[in-house]
Chains A and B, each alone.
Chain A
Amino acid sequence: MRETVKHTITDERTNRSYRHIKHSSGLDIFLAPLDGFYTTCAMFGAKYGSIHNCFKTSDDDRMITVPDGIAHYLEHKLFENGDSNVFELFAETGAYDNAFTGFENTVYYFNCSENYDKSLRILLNFVQKPYFTPENVEKERGIIAQEIKMSLDIPSRRCFYELLRAMYHYHPVNIDIAGSEESIAKITPELLYKCYDTFYDLNNMALSVAGNLDEDEVLAICDECLRPCEDKKLEVSFPDEPYEVAKKKVVTEFGVGVPIFSIGFKCRPVSDELALKNEVSTDMMLSLLAGRMSPLYKELSERKLVNGDIGKQVFDIKGVSSCIFSGESRDPEAVAECVIKHIEAAKKNGFDREQFELIRKSEYGSSVNQLATSEGYADALLMCHFNDIGLFDEERLIADMTYEDMLTALNRIDTDNYSLSIIV
Chain B
Amino acid sequence: MSLKVSSTSPAKGIHITDISDEKFISDSIVIRFTTPIDEKLTPIYSLLLSLLAESCRKYPDRALLGNRLAELYGTSLYPISYKSGDCFVTGLAVSGLCDRLTINSEVISVKCAELLLDCIFDPDVCDGVFCGRYLEQGKRELIDKIENEIANRQAYAGSQSLKTAFRGEPAAVSLNGTKENALKIDAQAIEQAYKKLLDEAFISVSFTGSGKNIQAKEMVKERLTKLALSSPNRLHYDNLLAPSPCKSEPEYVTEEMEQSQSNLIMFFKTDSSDFSALKLVNSLFGGVPFSRLFLNVREKLSLCYYCSSMYDEAKRTMIVSCGVEPGSEQRAADEIINQLDELKNGSFTDEELENTKRYVKGAAFSKYDSPAGLNSWYYSENSCGRNCSPEKMIELFYEVDRERMSKAAQSLKLDTVYVQRPCGGENNA
Interfacial residues, chain A to chain B (CB-CB below 8 A): 14, 34-39, 85, 87-88, 90-98, 111-114, 139-147, 149-150, 152-155, 211, 254-258, 260, 291-294, 297-298, 301, 304, 307-308, 328, 330, 355, 358-359, 361-366, 368-369, 371-374
A-B pairs, 10 with minimum CB distance: A365-B73, A257-B147, A292-B66, A362-B74, A113-B365, A94-B358, A365-B74, A257-B148, A142-B302, A94-B362
Task: Give bound CA distance, A368 to B358, whole Å.
Answer: 32
B150's contact among A144, A257, A355, A361, by CB below 8 Å, is which?
A257
B239 at the binding interface (Cβ < 8 Å): no
Task: Give bound CA distance, A328 to B143, whole Å.
Answer: 13
Instruction: Give, as a whole number of angstroms, the nearest-CB distance from B305 to chain A.
Output: 4
Instruction: Give, as a whole number of angstroms, the nearest-CB distance from A301 to chain B.
Output: 7
From known contacts A293-B70, A328-B144, A362-B74, infer whether A39 and B153 are also in contact, taking CB-CB under 8 Å: no
Which residues from chain A contact B258 at a C-beta distance below 8 Å?
254-255
B132 at the binding interface (Cβ < 8 Å): no
Instruction: Give, as a whole number of angstroms, the nearest-CB distance from A111 to chain B.
Output: 7
Segment 349-372 of B: residues with Cβ below 8 Å from A:
355, 358-359, 361-363, 365-366, 368-371
User: Chain B residue with minimal CB distance to A151?
Assistant: B260
B306 at the binding interface (Cβ < 8 Å): yes
Which residues from chain A contact B102 at a C-beta distance below 8 Å?
365
B366's contact among A39, A143, A145, by CB below 8 Å, is which?
A39
Task: Give bound CA distance, A256 to B146, whole Å.
Answer: 11
Contact of B323 with A146 in the complex, beta carbons under 8 Å: yes
Contact of B73 with A38 in the complex, beta carbons under 8 Å: no
Task: Give bound CA distance, A373 to B97, whole Å.
Answer: 14
Instruction: Give, as a whole number of angstroms, the nearest-CB distance from B371 to chain A.
Output: 8
B21 at the binding interface (Cβ < 8 Å): yes
Segment 59-117 of B: residues with Cβ below 8 Å from A:
62-63, 65-67, 69-75, 96-97, 101-103
Which residues from chain B contact A92 at a C-beta distance below 8 Å?
355, 358
Which residues from chain B contact A146 at a C-beta distance below 8 Å?
261, 303-305, 323-325
Residue of A34, A90, A330 most packed against chain B (CB within 10 A)? A90
Contact of A297 with B63 in the complex, beta carbons under 8 Å: yes
Contact of B147 with A113 in the complex, beta carbons under 8 Å: no
Contact of A307 with B144 in the complex, beta carbons under 8 Å: yes
Residue of A258, A366, A369 most packed against chain B (CB within 10 A)? A369
B402 at the binding interface (Cβ < 8 Å): no
Interfacial residues, chain B to chain A (CB-CB below 8 A): 1-2, 21-26, 62-63, 65-67, 69-75, 96-97, 101-103, 137, 140-141, 144-154, 257-261, 288-290, 294-295, 298-299, 302-306, 323-325, 355, 358-359, 361-363, 365-366, 368-371
Contact of B366 with A87 in the complex, beta carbons under 8 Å: no
Dominant secondary structure of chain A at its interface with chain B: mixed
From known contacts A113-B362, A298-B63, infer whether A153 and B154 are also in contact, taking CB-CB under 8 Å: yes
Contact of B71 with A85 in the complex, beta carbons under 8 Å: no
User: Chain B residue with minimal CB distance to A80?
Assistant: B299
Task: Give bound CA distance, A365 to B71, whole Å.
Answer: 10
Contact of B70 with A361 in the complex, beta carbons under 8 Å: yes
B23's contact among A35, A255, A301, by CB below 8 Å, is which?
A35
Which residues from chain B contact A258 at a C-beta distance below 8 Å?
144, 147-148, 151
Which residues from chain A contact B26 at a C-beta distance below 8 Å?
369, 372
Which residues from chain B contact A364 at a C-beta distance below 8 Å?
73-74, 103
User: Chain A residue with minimal CB distance to B151?
Assistant: A256
Instruction: Give, as a whole number of angstroms, the nearest-CB distance from A145 to chain B.
Output: 7
Contact of A143 with B298 in the complex, beta carbons under 8 Å: yes
Contact of B73 with A145 in the complex, beta carbons under 8 Å: no
Which residues from chain A contact B323 at a C-beta distance below 8 Å?
146, 149-150
| A-B contacts besides A153-B259, A258-B151, 15 pairs, CB < 8 Å | A37-B23, A94-B359, A113-B365, A143-B302, A144-B305, A150-B260, A150-B306, A153-B153, A154-B154, A257-B144, A260-B151, A291-B66, A298-B63, A361-B70, A361-B103
Which residues from chain B contact A85 at a C-beta distance below 8 Å?
290, 295, 299
Contact of B261 with A153 in the complex, beta carbons under 8 Å: yes
User: Chain A residue with minimal CB distance to B25?
Assistant: A372
Which residues from chain A contact B361 at a C-beta distance below 8 Å?
94, 113-114
Contact of A90 with B144 in the complex, beta carbons under 8 Å: no
Which residues from chain B contact A374 at a C-beta distance below 8 Å?
369
Instruction: Give, as a whole number of angstroms, the nearest-CB distance from A28 to chain B.
Output: 25
Instruction: Give, as a whole number of angstroms, the nearest-CB distance from B303 to chain A.
Output: 7
Contact of B71 with A358 in the complex, beta carbons under 8 Å: yes
Contact of A36 with B23 in the complex, beta carbons under 8 Å: yes
Which residues from chain B contact A149 at a C-beta distance below 8 Å?
260-261, 323, 325
Q: List, sorted by A's number, 29 A–B pairs whose CB atoms are closer than 8 Å.
A: A35-B23, A36-B2, A36-B21, A38-B365, A38-B368, A39-B368, A85-B290, A85-B295, A87-B290, A92-B355, A93-B358, A113-B365, A113-B366, A149-B260, A149-B261, A150-B154, A152-B260, A256-B151, A292-B65, A293-B63, A293-B66, A304-B137, A307-B140, A308-B141, A328-B144, A328-B148, A358-B67, A359-B70, A361-B103
User: Chain B residue with minimal CB distance to A150?
Assistant: B323
Contact of A152 with B23 in the complex, beta carbons under 8 Å: no
Which residues from chain A contact B144 at a C-beta distance below 8 Å?
257-258, 307, 328, 330
User: Chain A residue with minimal CB distance to B323?
Assistant: A150
User: Chain A residue with minimal CB distance to B69?
Assistant: A362
Instruction: Give, as a whole number of angstroms, the nearest-CB distance from A396 to chain B.
Output: 13
User: Chain A residue with minimal CB distance to B261?
Assistant: A149
B289's contact among A97, A140, A144, A369, by CB below 8 Å, is which?
A97
User: Chain B residue with minimal CB distance to A309?
Assistant: B62
Task: Give bound CA distance, A23 to B102, whole Å.
Answer: 36
Contact of A372 with B149 in the complex, beta carbons under 8 Å: no
Residue of A147, A153, A362 most packed against chain B (CB within 10 A)? A153
Contact of A373 with B305 in the complex, beta carbons under 8 Å: no
User: Chain B residue with minimal CB distance to A119?
Assistant: B362
Contact of B25 with A369 in the complex, beta carbons under 8 Å: yes
B261's contact among A143, A150, A301, A330, by CB below 8 Å, is which?
A150
Which residues from chain B contact A260 at a C-beta distance below 8 Å?
151
Contact of A301 with B303 in the complex, beta carbons under 8 Å: no
Task: Give bound CA distance, A146 to B306, whole Å.
Answer: 9
Which residues from chain B contact A98 at a C-beta distance below 8 Å?
289
Instruction: Give, as a whole number of angstroms, the nearest-CB distance from A67 to chain B.
Output: 19
From known contacts A255-B258, A258-B148, infer whether A95 and B362 are also in contact, taking CB-CB under 8 Å: yes
Which residues from chain A contact B371 at a C-beta distance below 8 Å?
372
Which residues from chain B contact A256 at a C-beta distance below 8 Å?
148, 150-151
B359's contact among A37, A91, A142, A292, by CB below 8 Å, is which?
A91
Contact of B362 with A90 in the complex, beta carbons under 8 Å: no
Contact of A368 with B369 in the complex, beta carbons under 8 Å: no
Residue of A39, A113, A258, A308 most packed against chain B (CB within 10 A)? A113
